[in-house]
């Protein structure tokens, strides 16, 4: 066990974010002191820097959701010290998983920046060492779970959960990559089923289902009894990504914090899929001619076509219908605590502007 003592609130009020941040330092120190490898000073410095650069810097929504969901399921405002530590640790495992995905995703997409700084592989002296760093990040999750959960009755379920979610996400990434392959632009591959499959597998499982599944396991529940909850969270994740696609084109860059580039990047976006479904032959011609081009004139033509097809109204209709269906499905859940967890997720994303 790492020597760094972490002072957590023990029965008194406490800020989840502050507690969560403290646990990171402890977990990182444990990884740097792992007896399974004889670290050199240089390799220790590398991993220390690599973890801070890639695991930190996000909003930590996924990780914090584990703690909030666990509190709701237990019906308490404050967890005991050990419960807080375990919930935070699983939250950080999800943040480690996110870092692993993003490090490799940025290489595959040849991206320039991530979270306002150069992608890790763009940092001088890093380059394709980032591939191995991604593998190390993934292995850290197994080391953390083994160290802190090996004696728990749900340990095997946790391992299975992370493995299954990783497989689904990697498979979704594959579908995204081969569908939107650069140099082989073919809009005929894009349809609602393909878009839905990419979104569900690439984003929804690890962003929405995984945090709640971790909280359920911590609460002693059997995930086999929560198939409906999984389906609801995956639907919510799909709705979240459709919002993202919409905001990329129609959102205010000041609010969303970035300038959307889905059109230029030839993304299999909900908007282009809707456009292809509703366009006549001449409108399809405009899409085929301009989608995926980065000059402002081509982008403007695509956006004008979206407006002509009234995709803003189509989105608001989709949003309303999705919300109503999610509400009905949530209210059908027998557990009030589970309903509360699901509603807290939905309230965070419904009609968001960023």
**What confidence tens digit (pLDDT) does each residue in 54-68 have?**
999 888 999 999 999
Instruction: Give the integer Cα–Cα distance in Å for 176 and 221.
Output: 33
Mark whether 233 and 168 lie in a shared domain.
yes
Q: Is the pLDDT of residue 38 over 70?
A: yes
In a domain, residue 9? The reply is: no
Q: Is the pLDDT of residue 2 over 70?
A: no
Of 151, 170, 185, which residue sits at a domain end?
A: 151
In a domain, residue 111? The reply is: yes
Mark whether 345 and 196 lie in a shared domain.
yes
Mark whether 127 and 183 lie in a shared domain.
no
Segment 112-156, tens digit of pLDDT: 888 888 999 999 999 999 999 999 999 999 999 999 999 999 999
Angle at 57 between CA 160 and CA 98, to 5 degrees: 20
Which pLDDT does position 99 carry in this prediction?
A: 97
Mark whether 87 and 200 lie in a shared domain.
no
Mark whether 122 and 208 lie in a shared domain.
no
Is the distance from CB of 201 to CB of 168 less than 8 angstroms? yes
Percent of the chain with pLDDT over 90: 78
Mark whether 166 and 143 lie in a shared domain.
no
pTM: 0.90
| Average pLDDT of the chain to the nearest whole number | 90
CA distances from 111 to 96, 106, 168, 268 (A): 20, 5, 23, 17
In a domain, residue 7? The reply is: no
Q: How many domains does the chain divide into?
A: 2
Mark whether 168 and 310 lie in a shared domain.
yes
Give SS3 for 236: helix
Mean pLDDT of 337-345: 96
In a domain, residue 73? The reply is: yes
The Cβ of residue 53 has, within 10 Å, a number of other Cβ atoms equal to 20
In a domain, residue 5? The reply is: no
**Whole domain around residue 31: which residue ranges?**
16-151
Mark whether 111 and 171 lie in a shared domain.
no
Mark whether 168 and 141 lie in a shared domain.
no
Is the distance from CB of 120 to CB of 103 less than 8 angstroms? yes
More confident residue, 10 or 186: 186
Mark whether 206 and 336 lie in a shared domain.
yes
Q: Is the pLDDT of residue 106 over 80?
A: yes
Which domain CATH number covers 337?
Answer: 1.10.600.10
């Amino acid at each position: 066990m790492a020597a760094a003592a972490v002072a957590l609130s023990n029965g008194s009020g406490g800020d989840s974010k502050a507690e969560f941040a403290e646990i990171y330092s402890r977990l990182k120190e444990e990884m740097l002191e792992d007896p399974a490898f004889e670290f050199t000073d240089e390799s220790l410095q590398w991993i220390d820097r690599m973890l801070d650069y890639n695991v930190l810097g996000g909003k930590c929504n996924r990780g914090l959701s584990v703690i909030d969901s666990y509190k709701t399921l237990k019906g308490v405002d404050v967890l005991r010290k050990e419960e807080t530590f375990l919930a935070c640790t699983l939250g950080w495992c999800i943040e480690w998983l996110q870092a692993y995905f993003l490090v490799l995703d940025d290489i595959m997409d040849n991206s320039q920046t991530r979270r306002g700084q150069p992608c890790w592989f763009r940092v001088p002296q890093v380059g394709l060492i980032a591939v191995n760093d991604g593998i190390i990040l993934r292995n850290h999750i197994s080391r953390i779970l083994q160290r802190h959960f090996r004696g728990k009755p749900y340990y095997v379920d946790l391992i299975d959960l992370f493995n299954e979610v990783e497989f689904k996400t990697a498979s979704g990434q594959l579908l995204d990559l081969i569908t939107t392959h650069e140099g082989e632009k073919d809009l005929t591959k894009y349809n609602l089923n393909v878009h839905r499959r990419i979104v569900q597998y690439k984003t929804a499982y690890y962003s929405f289902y995984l945090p709640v599944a971790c909280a359920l396991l911590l609460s002693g529940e059997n995930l086999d009894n929560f198939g409906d909850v999984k389906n609801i969270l995956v639907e919510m994740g799909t709705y979240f990504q459709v919002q993202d696609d919409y905001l990329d084109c129609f959102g205010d860059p000041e609010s969303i914090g970035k300038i959307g580039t889905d059109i230029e990047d030839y993304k299999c976006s909900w908007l282009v899929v809707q456009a292809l479904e509703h366009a006549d032959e001449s409108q399809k011609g405009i899409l085929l001619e301009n989608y995926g081009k980065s000059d402002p004139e081509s982008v403007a033509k695509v956006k004008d076509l979206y407006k002509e097809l009234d995709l803003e109204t189509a989105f608001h209709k989709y949003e309303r219908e999705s919300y109503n269906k999610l509400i009905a499905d949530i209210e059908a859940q027998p557990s009030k605590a589970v309903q509360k967890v699901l509603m807290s997720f939905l309230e965070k994303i419904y009609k968001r502007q960023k």
